[in-house]
Structure 1
Amino acid sequence: MIPAVAAVVVTYNSERDIDGLLDSVPAAMGGLDHSLVVVDNGSTDGTLDVLGARTDCIVVRSTNVGYAAGINRAVAAAGEARSILILNPDATLDPGSVPAMLAVLERPGVGIVAPRVREADGRLSPTIRRRPTLARVGGLSFTGLDAFSERVEDPDEYLVEHDVDWAVGAILLVDRQCYAALGGLDESFFLYSEETDFCLRARDAGWSTRYTPDAGAVHVGGGSGESSLTHTMKILNRVRVYRRRTGPLRGGLYFGLSVAIELRRALLGTHDSWPTVRALLRPSARPRQLGLRRRLVPR
């Protein structure tokens, strides 16, 4: 019998968080047949010791091949399942959340389901996103205007089930046929924007991303650490998603606006933005993992 769900996790120095996630899985599954695979991307803390003490998951040791590649490896190791539950190690699932998500996934045309996510203190975590545009490059969510904000802030939007452009990838349930049709996550992103790209490609192929308030989870965020390197990856990958989808002219405009925005942030005291400005303007200064050192505008 094919399991209903393959739950997949990628860890990287996740010693503090991974037990909490894995402990939440049985109740979250609500009796569904499932497999659970954790790919460790070369942790140097005690993550592997924590995982080695457990008997409820398959552990795959890996070098740091990136988040997208780690998820793809975990899916391959999980074997057959009707759906794939992508989880960040610093998330925890509410009891019964997976059957609630699966009920939505089984509706015609739905390829990806995102639950209602809370911060550690119980506040709503705004995880729904609008598609990237030139007007939204600055992340001006404080304006409250849809035209300038990629992040959906309106609490009312989180009260009802509806289709969205994309959602943060900390907890996503994906139809196995959708995942296979898209060839999994795009490993060229290494870290960040892989879920943006995946949801938008799914929509291009006729699969919707659906948000449901009927399934809940908590996501702490930043469990593997944040730095100027990860900020640089985030901005470069945002440019690359837009460039791939719109072509060289609009991609070039998005790139130029990204440079201006990061320079402004740096001048206003955001120290992580200085390395990002250098990496945007000097391809040779970009993180080698992204493979973006051959041309000015990332693609």
Structure 2
Amino acid sequence: MNKQLEIAIVILNWNGRSLLEQFIPNVLKYSDNATVYVADNASEDDSVEYLRQNYPEVGIVMNKENGGFAKGYNDALKHINADVYCLLNSDVEVTKNWLTPIRSFFENDKKIAIAQPKILDFKNKSMLEYAGAAGGFLDMFGYPFCRGRVFQTLEMDQGQYNDIKDIFWATGACMFIRKHVFDSLKGFDEDYFAHQEEIDLCWRANNLGYKTKYIGTSSVYHVGGATLNNMNPKKTFLNFRNSLYSLTKNLPLKKVIPLVLIRLVLDGVAAMRFLFQFKFQHLFAIFKAHLSYYWNLRKMSKKRQQLDEYKKYYVCTSIVWSYFVRKRKHYSSLVKD
């Protein structure tokens, strides 16, 4: 008889007592045959004490500092042993039997390295949610989008994504990854701090031949914006800078320079759009993102993998052109499956 797959659900926490109080009960109730951990990023509130008093069955890993999403998980997962990690945001409500189809796919297909369920909006449960929706993709210039979410346009969940599909990146809000794959990739790139480090991780996995899967027969509800709101200038800074990091690290050498140059121009167009919208903080965030990218360019270049062959990473040429010029605002109009 085959040994059952061991899943460790690991929730990263920083000053999140209210979120743990709200969402931990469902995680424990609906996560049969999985071990639940909270990785605490040096919280200053009483969230750890709350867990110890009310949920002694939850394992607690204490990180020495708040190193953000990337370092927080890297530090914590060194102390947790399981076949598969589920990296679960503290603001996610899981559903009955959510683990069953995901466990089945990992047990039956050894090529699957990373996976995510359908991500729905906790505040409007009929809508797909920004951070992951029905699986992530990139366009040619490294701009991320999802089935069910292109820029700020979100689709209603009408069962159109109740499928199983190969995707390019899985959301960090609810990412399943085999331990040996996470270890072989040396975890997340801590220079990202937060935002798009999951895209970089999935891209590096893709370059090594691993598969990332969307499993739409499993659903969770994500609050979103609990750490940084979608339109927070700090998030704008991190998203623009980290996306350039990923291009630099993961593209074949002959494609890096031309694509990064085009991307810098497109980022400038985005900055002008913020200018005309009087969103000056976001304009300066893009400017600072580029300065930070230039400052760290040499460091990022040293992290490049030695690619034996070019692996296509994008599914459409430009979502900027398609979305803003051609007014194609849904995945189905961008990509023909």
- TM-score tier after normalising by the smaller chain length: 0.7 to 0.9
* Cα distance in 1, alignment partners of residues 120 and 257 from structure 2: 38
Aligned to 1:111: 113
Percent identity between matched residues is 18
Aligned to 2:323: none
Compute the displacement of 1:264 (Å).
Answer: 1.5
In structure 2, the CA distance between the partners of 1:138 and 1:201, relative to structure 1 (3 Å rule), is closer
Q: Is there any run of 5+ residues in structure 2 with no aligned partner, and where?
A: 302-337
Compute the displacement of 1:128 (Å).
Answer: 1.7
Secondary structure class of the residue paired with 2:17? coil
What is the letter of the counterpart of residue 202 of structure 1? Answer: A
In structure 2, the CA distance between the partners of 1:20 and 1:235, relative to structure 1 (3 Å rule), is same
What is the letter of the counterpart of residue 250 of structure 2? Answer: R
* Cα distance in 1, alignment partners of residues 294 and 8 from structure 2: 33
Compute the displacement of 1:160 (Å).
Answer: 1.1
**1:265 matches 2:270:** no
Q: Is there any run of 5+ residues in structure 1 with no aligned partner, and where?
A: none
Aligned to 2:241: 236
* Cα distance in 2, alignment partners of residues 45 and 230 from structure 1: 24
What is the letter of the counterpart of residue 247 of structure 2? Answer: Y
Counterparts of residues 179-258 of structure 1 (less than 5 Å): 179-226=182-229, 227-246=232-251, 247-258=256-267
What is the letter of the counterpart of residue 279 of structure 2? Answer: T
In structure 2, the CA distance between the partners of 1:138 and 1:193, relative to structure 1 (3 Å rule), is closer
* Counterpart contact for 1:138–1:261, Cα < 8 Å: no
Q: 1:128 aligns with which of 135, 138, 143?
A: 135
Aligned to 1:160: 163
Secondary structure class of the residue paired with 1:221? coil
* Counterpart contact for 1:118–1:216, Cα < 8 Å: yes
Secondary structure class of the residue paired with 1:158? coil
Q: 1:25 aligns with which of 24, 27, 47?
A: 27
Aligned length in residues: 284
* Counterpart contact for 1:111–1:207, Cα < 8 Å: yes
Aligned to 1:293: 295
Q: 2:74 aligns with which of 65, 72, 75?
A: 72
Compute the displacement of 1:149 (Å).
Answer: 7.3
* Counterpart contact for 1:127–1:168, Cα < 8 Å: no
What is the letter of the counterpart of residue 179 of structure 2? Answer: R
**1:275 matches 2:275:** no
In structure 2, the CA distance between the partners of 1:206 and 1:89, relative to structure 1 (3 Å rule), is same
Q: Deviations over 1:37-69 (max 9, x none)?
A: 222223344434433433122321431112111
Secondary structure class of the residue paired with 1:130? strand
Secondary structure class of the residue paired with 1:71? helix
What is the letter of the counterpart of residue 85 of structure 2? Answer: I
* Counterpart contact for 2:136–2:146, Cα < 8 Å: no
* Cα distance in 2, alignment partners of residues 177 and 269 from structure 1: 47
In structure 2, the CA distance between the partners of 1:57 and 1:296, relative to structure 1 (3 Å rule), is same
In structure 2, the CA distance between the partners of 1:35 and 1:297, relative to structure 1 (3 Å rule), is closer
**1:13 matches 2:46:** no
- Pairwise CA RMSD of aligned residues? 3.2
* Cα distance in 2, alignment partners of residues 140 and 108 from structure 1: 25
* Counterpart contact for 2:134–2:161, Cα < 8 Å: no
Q: Deviations over 1:128-150 (max 9, x none)?
A: 2212422x6497999x9xxx979
Aligned to 1:36: 36
